[in-house]
Structure 1
Amino acid sequence: MNIQITHRPGLDLMPAGFAEGLDDWSFGDGTPASGSYVDAANAGLADDDDFGLCLELRTAHPMQRLRYMGEVPVRAGHFIEISSRLKVVAGPLPLVRVSTYPGGRPGQRLDLPDTGPVVGLAAHGTVFEVSAIIGPDARPGVHLPWDPRARYAHVGIDLLSETGTTVRIDRISVRDVTRRFLPLGPVLPGFQDL
Structure 2
Amino acid sequence: MNKAITEGLVLMPPAFSAGLNLWSRDDGLTGQGSYLGQSNAAFVPSDQDFAGCLELTKTLSTMKLRCFQSIPFEPGLYLRVTAKVKAMSGPLPSVRIAGWAGSSTGANVSAAVQAGPSVTLTTYGQVVTVSAIIGSGNRPGVDMVWGLSPVNGHLGLALTGATGGVVRIEDITIEDASDVFLSTRFNWVDVRDYGAIGDGIADDLGAFNAADDAAAGKIVLVPPGIYKLSTSMTFENPVQFEGTISMAARDKLVLRRNFDLPSYTTAFGGELAGFKRALQALFFYTDHVELDLGGRRVELDGPIDVAALCGLTTFAERRSIRNGQLQAITSTAWNTETVTSVA
User: TM-score, structure 2 length as denominator?
Assistant: 0.51
Letter in 1 for 2:128: F
CA distance in structure 2 between the partners assigned to 1:4 and 1:85 by the alignment: 23
TM-fit CA distance, 1:6: 8.7
TM-fit CA distance, 1:34: 1.4
Q: Tell me, what secondary structure is at the counterpart of 1:180?
A: helix
- Provide closer, same or farther for how the CA distance between residues 10 and 139 of structure 1 changes in structure 2, counting only shifts above 3 A: closer
Where structure 1 has 5 or more consecutive residues not aligned to the other structure, the ranges are 187-194
Question: 1:29 matched to which residue of 2?
Answer: 27
TM-fit CA distance, 1:96: 0.7
TM-fit CA distance, 1:12: 1.5
Question: 2:170 matched to which residue of 1?
Answer: 170
More strand by share: 1
More helix by share: 2
Question: 1:192 matched to which residue of 2?
Answer: none
1:128 equivalenced with 2:131 (yes/no): no
Larger Rg belongs to: 2
Map Cα deviations across residues 93-114 of structure 1 (whole Å, 9 max, x no partner).
1111011100112521111110
Q: Is the contact between residue 59 and residue 161 of structure 1 (CA under 8 Å) also seen in structure 2?
A: no
CA distance in structure 2 between the partners assigned to 1:85 and 1:30 by the alignment: 20
Where structure 2 has 5 or more consecutive residues not aligned to the other structure, the ranges are 187-343
Q: Is the contact between residue 2 and residue 176 of structure 2 (CA under 8 Å) also seen in structure 1?
A: no
| Bigger RCO of structures 1 and 2 (CA < 8 A, at least 6 apart) | 1
- Provide closer, same or farther for how the CA distance between residues 9 and 105 of structure 1 changes in structure 2, counting only shifts above 3 A: closer
1:138 equivalenced with 2:138 (yes/no): yes
Letter in 2 for 1:54: C
Question: 1:90 matched to which residue of 2?
Answer: 89
TM-fit CA distance, 1:184: 8.9
Q: Tell me, what secondary structure is at the counterpart of 2:180?
A: helix
Give the 4+ runs in structure 1 shifted more than 4 A: 3-6, 183-186
Count of equivalent residues = 184
CA distance in structure 1 between the partners assigned to 2:86 and 2:106 by the alignment: 33
- Provide closer, same or farther for how the CA distance between residues 139 and 44 of structure 1 changes in structure 2, counting only shifts above 3 A: same
Question: 1:71 matched to which residue of 2?
Answer: 70
Map Cα deviations across residues 6-61 of structure 1 (whole Å, 9 max, x no partner).
94364220000000000010111111121000111100011211101110011011
Q: Is the contact between residue 54 and residue 169 of structure 1 (CA under 8 Å) also seen in structure 2?
A: yes
Q: Tell me, what secondary structure is at the counterpart of 1:48?
A: coil
TM-fit CA distance, 1:148: 1.8
Partner of residue 37 from structure 2, selected from 24, 36, 39 = 39
Question: 2:232 matched to which residue of 1?
Answer: none
RMSD: 2.0
